[in-house]
Every structure is written in C-alpha cells, then in structure tokens.
Homo-oligomer: A and B are copies of this chain.
Amino acid sequence: MSSPLPSEKALVPFVSVENMMRLVHHIGIETVLTELTDVIEADFRRWGSFDKTPRVASHSGEGVIELMPTSDGEIYSFKYVNGHPKNMAQGLQTVTAFGLLAEVSTGYPVLLTEMTLLTALRTAATSAMAARHLAPRGARTMAMIGNGAQAEFQALAMKAVCGIDHIRLYDIDPLATEKMVRNLAGTGLTVTACSSSQSAIENADIITTCTADKQYATILTDNMVGSGVHINAIGGDCPGKTELHRDILLRADTFVEYPPQTRIEGEIQQMDADYPVTEFWQVLTGQAIGRRDASQITLFDSVGFAIEDFSALRYVRDRLRGTGLYQDLDIIADPDDPRDLFGMLQRAKQAA
C-alpha cells in the first residue's frame, strides 16, 4: 500500500486507556486531581462563557447512553458516556466513556480520548472543588458510602484538595470495601471499614454517597445526618435513581451544577420543580453564599456536567504535550483539494 500519507490536519491525537494510565502516573495521581480541581474551578468561574444544554440521553430498560456537548466559543467538547447498572454482573463497567475536543472555528477534532478513567478523575475533582468551598472548616474525616469504581478517586481527591486524612467506608458488599481498603493502603489515608452506613458516618465531616443501583434508594435517612456536615451526593444521577431521603434535602442547603439537568437527574428530582437550589458557580464568583455557619448542612447534588468534561479534556490536551502518550488517528478525510473527496478516493485505488 503506497497511498499518500494523510496530512497533519487529518490526524487526531488519540489517548488510549493504557496511555491515560501512563499519563496519570507520569504526573502523579494526586497532582492530577489537584490540577484538575483547579482547571474545573477556573471554568466554573467563567460559567457564562459556555453553551449549556442538558445532556442528550437515550434511555433503555438496561441503562442510558448520553452525549454531553458544550463549547466556550473557541473549543467544543463532547463526551459519550453510558450508565448500565446491570453491567457489573457481566463483568463490564457500569460507566464507560470517551470524549473529544474540536476547534469551533473549523469543526476539526483536535483530541480523542478514553474518558472512563478521566471521568472518575474529573468527578472526584468536581467533588473536591465543591467540598473545599462548602465543607466545614478543618474537615478531616469523610464517610464513603458505596465503595465501587469511583470511590478511591473520591477519597484521594478529598485528601489532596481538602486535607481529609481519615476515610470511613461502607458498602452493602463487603468485598467492595475490602477492595477499597487494599487500594488505599500506602496512600497515607487512615481507612476504617464499617459494618453499616450509620457507623461509617459517625464523626464524619463530609459524607459522600456513590452507589450504583438504579432505584429510588435511601442510603441516608434524616436521623442519621447530624448538623454541620457536607454531603457529596454522587450516585443519584439519572431519572429514577436517588440516594437520600427527601427529609435530608429539606434540612440542607442544596448546591447544584446546572439546574435544568439536576432537576431531572439529581436528588432534587424528588422535590418540586421550583425547589430552591444554588448554582455552585455563583458561590465561586461571590454571587451566592456557600457555607453560612458551622451547623448548616450543605449538599452538593452532583450529577456531572459537560463543562467538567470540557475542563478535563483541555487539561489532558495541555498535559499531553511532549509526553508522546498518544497515537495519531487517521479519522478526518483531508484531500489536497477540499472539493475533491472523490478524487482522493479514486487515487487511493490507483495507489493500492
């Protein structure tokens, strides 16, 4: 085969799962989490620059496939992500993802990357961003309810960004907790495995819920939650999937990413359509108050928003430079004369 090589514009850098893992280790996972938190926060501070739209979801009996696009007018991004709670029983990931950055001015892609790992990292970084503004001062202990694929990332982000040094774990499956204890060995975190959620949240300053069942679950009930805590609710993230009893919401002040999406997907899907929430970006810009006092319960009702993926993709693009941790994909047809797509096809035959 001797057909002409594709031009540089036609090649899109692709970061495989293996290269993403190498990139994370090259930088250091806690540094990645800290830098990602800062990059996401910087983008949240310029919230008004972004095109925002609720994600485009295709629901089925087994799960959901979603596309999450956004743009700041210069760079466009989207993420493909699925959520299939029954996958785990088949040995598959509940959530897998990949994403893309493109130039708005030409529409040409400039980065394609795995985002299963990157989503775990950016979700943890987003939690840490909210917690560093909402958690009680001097918070050191986090309860982690749900010890699945996201859990260690949450723990390390809270350590790196918020100074958490003690994690108390609970999962309905003790094997998941054992896995998490094993994985966090050597990270510098004190890790306590607990036999109930009630026990896990004892003396916790931050409570993170991250469970996968697609149902209206009640991981936390009202009498379990004391005053002053910050709740980071990750797992209630699609219609019909919640984790908190609504009475907790009534006692808490609720902070969200993008209300039109969170009202469909978040914990607040249990509440009326005009249930009061604060957009978290407004806390960053000073347009809204975050934590008011030491007894307030703050709730970050996080469902994941496209801007977080945008930030993560930009971060990977910046950090990829000079590492060589990508392959060039010939995914864009780029004939010498842009009107001569057919001629390019014909010449490929002659060259074959």
Q: A interface vs B, CB < 8 Å?
A: 1, 3, 6, 9-10, 14, 16-18, 21-22, 24-25, 29, 51, 53, 56, 58, 60, 62-65, 67, 69, 71, 73, 76, 78, 80, 82-84, 87-88, 90-94, 96, 98, 100, 102, 104-109, 114, 116-117, 120, 147-153, 176, 179, 182-183, 329-346, 348-349, 352
Q: Which residues of B contact A338 (CB under 8 A)?
A: 87-88, 91-94, 149
Q: Which residues of B contact A349 (CB under 8 A)?
A: 21, 25
A275 to B325, CA, bound (A): 54
Separation in Å of the A338 CB from the closest CB of chain B? 5
A26 to B268, CA, bound (A): 55
Q: Which residues of B contact A84 (CB under 8 A)?
A: 105-107
Q: Which residues of B contact A117 (CB under 8 A)?
A: 333, 341, 345
Q: Which residues of B contact A334 (CB under 8 A)?
A: 17, 92-93
Separation in Å of the A106 CB from the closest CB of chain B? 6
What secondary structure prevails in chain A residues at the interface with B? mixed
CB within 8 Å for A332 and B114 given contacts A65-B76, A149-B340, A338-B149:
yes
Q: Are A71 and B58 in contact (CB under 8 A)?
A: yes
A128 to B65, CA, bound (A): 32
Separation in Å of the A320 CB from the closest CB of chain B? 16
Q: Are B331 and A179 in contact (CB under 8 A)?
A: no
Q: Are A78 and B80 in contact (CB under 8 A)?
A: yes
Q: Which residues of B contact A340 (CB under 8 A)?
A: 149, 179, 183
Q: Are A339 and B148 in contact (CB under 8 A)?
A: yes
Q: Are B341 and A104 in contact (CB under 8 A)?
A: no
Other A-B pairs beyond A80-B100, A96-B109, A182-B343, 8, CB < 8 Å: A21-B344, A22-B352, A65-B104, A80-B109, A82-B107, A84-B105, A151-B342, A152-B342
Q: Are B105 and A60 in contact (CB under 8 A)?
A: yes
Closest to A10 in B: B17
Q: Are B16 and A3 in contact (CB under 8 A)?
A: no
Q: Which residues of B contact A348 (CB under 8 A)?
A: 18, 21-22, 25
CB within 8 Å for A60 and B16 given contacts A65-B76, A69-B67:
no
A22 to B350, CA, bound (A): 11
Q: Are B339 and A88 in contact (CB under 8 A)?
A: yes
Subset of 9 A-B contacts with CB under 8 Å: A10-B17, A25-B352, A62-B104, A65-B76, A83-B107, A96-B108, A116-B341, A120-B341, A183-B343
Q: Are B331 and A16 in contact (CB under 8 A)?
A: yes
